[in-house]
Amino acid sequence: MDNRPIGVFDSGLGGLTAVRRLQELLPHEDIVYFGDTGRVPYGTRSRETIRRYAGEDCRLLLDRDVKFIIAACGTVSSVAPDILTSLPVPAIGVVEPTAAAAAAATRNGRVGIIGTAATIRSASFERALLAIRPDLHITATPCPLFVPLVENGWISQDDPVAIPMVRRYLTQIKADGADTLILGCTHFPLLTPIIQQELGSDVTLIDSGYETARLCAARLRETGQLSADSRPGQSRYYVSDQPEGFSQVAEIFLGHSVEQQVEMVRLDQP
């Protein structure tokens, strides 16, 4: 058994979708979350910058003695997977578990992918999908404005800004007849009601945060690294910008307040 916390990082708030799933699946585990709110979004950055940010994020979590790291960021998982495999603790990204779930879910062999510009440019989800099922027809669309929508809380089902933006981005995926859609950024599940409304109830949405949290839970069970504590797990949240805005929006992601659990850190300090 291993009572050290699970570490999760993302460019901002999106990774909280994975944290919420972890809290549901593993209620006795402590979690350390880092949201790089001072440098969000990652999806518009260069490959070199994304890799540097990912390394710094991982070091911050390792300094807090985590036993497992989740890169709850489609951009990092797509552009810098080798950084995760080089760490001294087990680490996973969102690509492989999400692709596996989508390949299993599709009925007509047509899968859509939405993500940041960097994620779609990397073609990581396509490669993972085709490695499982070479017969799949895949439509991938970058949605760079979805992250700001979520970070600003413009996510209600009748939001006058979000609705036309979702409709525009999903035009080709809808036209291609995808029956399964990968939400390739952990921010995107917050837009699920609008996306589902646009595509229809017959389209299965694959939540990358949920699928990755599920794989983490399975790995910890397999390796005997689950916490031995019977108490409820504690979560701590770190951000690289002022915590006030994070705390307000985090409540939307998690369903409960985190105001007293958020601390601002500098990435050049342990």
Active site residue 216: no
The answer to whether domain 6-93+210-264 and domain 95-208 are alike in fold is yes
Domain assignments of the chain as residue spans, ordered by start: 6-93+210-264, 95-208
Q: Which residue has the higher pLDDT, 248 or 262?
A: 262
Q: What percent of the chain clears pLDDT 70, i.e. is strictly above it?
A: 99
Catalytic-labelled residue, pool 58, 143, 185, 216: 185
* CATH number 1.10.760.10 is the correct assignment for the domain at 6-93+210-264: no
pLDDT, residue 91, reads: 98
Residue with tokens 């994020």: 57
Q: Choose the catalytic residue: 58, 73, 143, 216.
A: 73
Measured CA to CA, the distance from residue 165 to residue 114 in angstroms comes to 13
For residue 180, the cross-strand partners are 111, 204
Give φ, ψ of 63 to 5 degrees.
Answer: -65, -15
- Which CATH fold topology does 95-208 show? Rossmann fold (3.40.50)
- How would you classify the pairing of strands 204-207 and 180-183? parallel
Catalytic residue flag (residue 73): yes
Nearest to 125 by CA among 93, 96, 82, 91: 96
Average pLDDT over residues 147-174: 93
Q: Using CA atoms, how far apart are residues 111 and 107, in angstroms rounded to an integer?
A: 9
Per-residue confidence band for 269, with pLDDT thresholds at 50, 70 and 90: low
